Amino acid sequence: MNIDRKGILYAVAAYGIWGIFPLYWKLLAHVDSLEVLVSRVIWSFVFTYVFIILIKQRQLLLEDLKSLWKNKKLFLSLLGASFVISCNWFLYIFAVNNNHVVDASLGYYINPLITVVFGMIFFKEKLSKLQISAVIVAFLGVVSLTIGYGEVPWIALLIAFSFASYSALKKQITLNATRGLVLETMLMLPVAIVYYIYIMSTNKMSFLQINWETDFILVLGGIVTAFPLVLFANGAKLLPQYVIGFIQYMTPTIVLILGIVLYHEPFTKTELISFSFIWLSIIIFTFSTIYESKKRIQIKRETANVDI
């Protein structure tokens, strides 16, 4: 098996797991979404830290901590990233457990396009005419949905903007993906523990109070969070960015299918028109990304030939 196929398998596995996440979080529909979130933070930290020890990267983790301590800008960026990814996790869990799976799907369809716009605004990245067209078409899709609903699809937009913000903040942080997750969850850990103490004192806690199945699913949430991230990190190293960009649409597609087929959420003419705009924008965006990537490769080859 060559490297590219390994990378594709890693990426497909990661995005496939993320796609079926609604099946997992639905098992915790009887638990408050905020408790599911803090449990996810705590157990993600525990399992990723154990994993770091097992792969003998504890010393590297300590070095990362020292770098954070010395660099306030890096620390604030990671703290911001920790906060917005926690918001994203909460919104996704809330959406799944409150019958907004289709909205969650829309959010993750829109997210890559917002990420591109953030790149243009915050990192002075230039967009091609096709990429700008893709963003405009996606915007029209959101507008059509807003008009059809009579209200702004806040859940979808907040999911998209929170993850795009996370990506923008992470771009400034050069940390290993797994060690980065340890540090991100570690920063949110004090808040998670304080919240657990609070719900314990008010008898609103579900953990250790309902049944062993609920406890097991809450704890396993840490592994469920960390495992696809490790797969993704391996895949991202082996594949060009445009391939990763194409495969990532597996996640919202699977989520959308689950929302319509399994959970029977409405998908009326309004949603169809809006999603059609989004799908068209994705086709334009993907074509543009592949074209620009091949163009850059061609220019590099021609430059190399001239040098020879």
Question: According to the model, what pLDDT value does residue 263 have?
Answer: 94
Domain that holds residue 173: 3-307
**What string of pLDDT tens digits covers the 308 residues of the chain?**
444 688 889 889 999 999 999 999 999 999 999 999 999 999 999 999 998 999 899 999 999 998 888 888 888 989 999 999 999 999 999 999 999 999 999 999 988 888 888 888 888 878 788 888 988 998 899 899 888 888 889 999 999 999 889 888 887 777 777 888 899 999 999 999 999 999 999 888 999 889 999 999 999 999 998 888 878 877 877 777 667 777 888 999 999 999 999 999 989 998 999 999 999 998 998 888 777 777 777 777 767 666 55
How far is the CA of 16 from the CAs of 34, 109, 249, in angstroms?
Answer: 25, 15, 10
Question: According to the model, what pLDDT value does residue 1 have?
Answer: 43
Question: According to the model, what pLDDT value does residue 204 have?
Answer: 87
Residue 239 in 3-state DSSP? coil
Angle at 142 between CA 137 and CA 144, to 5 degrees: 90
**Long-range Cβ pairs for the range 178-181 (8 Å, 24+):** 178/48, 178/51, 178/52, 178/57, 178/226, 178/229, 178/230, 178/233, 179/52, 179/57, 179/60, 179/61, 179/64, 180/78, 181/44, 181/48, 181/225, 181/226, 181/229
Which of 95, 28, 26, 51 minimizes the C-alpha distance to 223? 51
- In single-letter form, the type of residue at position 145 comes to L
Q: Classify residue 69 by burial, with Cβ atoms within 10 Å: 0-12, 13-18, 19+.
A: exposed
Which of 83, 224, 233 minimizes the C-alpha distance to 163? 83
- In single-letter form, the type of residue at position 168 comes to A
> Given 3-state DSSP classes, what are the helix, strand and coil percentages for the chain, each rounded to the nearest 5?
85, 0, 15
To the question of pTM greater than 0.85 for the whole model, the response is yes
Question: According to the model, what pLDDT value does residue 230 have?
Answer: 79
Question: According to the model, what pLDDT value does residue 7 have?
Answer: 82
How many domains is the chain built from? 1
